Amino acid sequence: MSVIEGFFDEIGFFESVCTSFEWVGDTLIVSFDKGIDLGSSEHPLADSLGVDAPCKLIFDGVVKSKLKVSKLVNKPNDFDVYYFEKKDLPEKSSSIDYEEFYMEGSMLATDPNGWFVWDVIAEKAKIDNLKG
């Protein structure tokens, strides 16, 4: 397993499929079945993590998590929108530098399923390619 911190701006999410997520304290672990695109980026895992491979994103020191899931009700543009916001997170500390992270893609881990947009503010983000 290779866990790489940083390089978040090198990750493409447009075809991502989120299958689960869990909270461990103020750490958010988001699992993707496929669709994370490192393509021709400078990311250290670009050569070993294909777009069809599963992986996890790990956000440590989360102080804000706002997940929006849009479910298509009627074509072409009639959506129901659902919000999932984690409430019991620690307050920001003035002595810590936080980053804002943005993800989007297909969400299979919520009821309802749909297209997701997720804003996370955390101390750091890591990607795990799940390879032993």
Task: Collect contacts of 92-96 with beta carbons under 8 A, ≥24 apart.
Answer: 92/63, 92/121, 96/61, 96/123
How does residue 132 score in pLDDT terms, banded at 50, 70 and 90? Answer: low
| pLDDT bucket at 40, cuts 50 / 70 / 90 | confident
Looking at the chain, which runs of residues are DSSP E strands? 3-5, 17-24, 27-34, 55-60, 64-74, 78-85, 99-107, 114-122, 124-128
Mean pLDDT over all residues of the chain? 94
Predicted pLDDT of residue 14: 85
Q: What is the predicted pLDDT for the residue at 41? A: 82
